[in-house]
Amino acid sequence: MDILNFSGIYERYELSCFKGASFIDLRDIHGTKLYVDSEGEKAVRDRIRREGSGKKAHLIDIGDYHYVTRLYLYEIREAFDLLVFDNHNDSKEPEFGGLRSCGSWIKDAVFDMPDTLMSVKLIRGDKDISYLKGSFDIERPLYISIDKDILSEDTCPTNWDQGDMSLEELLDFLRKETEGREILGIDICGGPASGSAIDREVRLNQAVDISILDALCYNH
């Protein structure tokens, strides 16, 4: 497992709960919050390749860094489907030209990987499910990206506006969507801003991360 530390939030986790994880400190790379240019993106990718565990699970910090999912998708060399849980549709045009953003990463991935990224399914709630590209094929492997802002604030507080899904509902979705599928990888983002987070918020976020990883057998 890779634990990507951009904001410092993971320094407040009990890291011994994540077995065999590679802790990758990225705080010294400037210009990575919300938006990233090609130079910053290359620096992040190079460090992940150099210091990463090579395993399937990744914690990628708060939602401001959700664009990192795309860097993991680029490493996939076969046709696959992408399942995204997020309270937001991260397929918008970035506000600043030449920059990638946490709100445009799905659109960027679809454009940049036409031959491997076959389908994107976005779940924003039990009544808000849509395909942003194609449709799922159970014969294709699956990559999963989860932004915890899909969960209710009581379940898991984050620094973005949140949905109302419970953890039990999220885990039930995961069980149904992954049944019979090969899982290429999973990443989890979301959480409170490190500087303003209280201990309770950090504990809730860590507990949710562990529950998701355990449900998919990625923390054993």
2-215 classified as CATH 3.40.800.10: yes
Mean of per-residue pLDDT scores for the chain = 94
Instruction: Kindly state the tokens that stand for 111.
Output: 């454009």
Q: Indicate the pTM of the whole model.
A: 0.95
Q: Which residues of 191-206 are buried (b: 16+ CB within 10 A; e: fewer)?
A: bbebeebeeebbebbb
Range with the lowest mean pLDDT among 65-69, 105-109, 195-199?
195-199
pLDDT, tens digit (0-9, with 9 covering 90-100), for 131-184: 999 999 999 999 999 999 999 999 999 999 999 999 999 999 999 999 999 999
Q: How many CA atoms lie within 13 A of 15 on its CB side?
A: 16
16 contact partners, CB below 8 Å, separation of at least 6: none
> Is the model's pLDDT at 215 over the cut of 60?
yes
Domain ranges of the chain: 2-215
Question: Closest by alpha carbon to 4, among 38, 52, 56, 54?
Answer: 52
Residues whose CB falls within 8 Å of the CB of residue 4, separated by 6 or more in sequence, listed in order: 24, 26, 48, 58, 59, 60, 61, 65, 68
Q: Which amino acid is at 57?
A: A
CA distance 78 to 17: 32
Cα(54)–Cα(66) distance, integer angstroms: 19
Beta-strand pair 100-101/35-36: antiparallel
